[in-house]
Amino acid sequence: MDPRGELKLMAVQCVWQLLGPTVHHILDVVIGERISVRP
């Protein structure tokens, strides 16, 4: 595996660890609102 690919993978993992919880929180809020607003 080339070093650039490994660096890219590490960067993606770092970003995902930072953004992951925020994305999950937004999804929870959106899904929760959809369920509570359901007629």
Instruction: Give the span between the Cα atoms of 37 and 22, in whole angstroms.
Output: 22
Per-residue pLDDT of the chain (39 residues; tens, 9 = 90+): 688 999 999 999 999 899 999 998 999 998 888 877 655
Return the structure tokens found at 3: 């070093």
Instruction: Give the span between the Cα atoms of 20 and 12, in whole angstroms.
Output: 11
pLDDT at 18: 92
Name the DSSP class of 21: H
* pTM for the full predicted model: 0.47
- Which residue type does 37 have? V
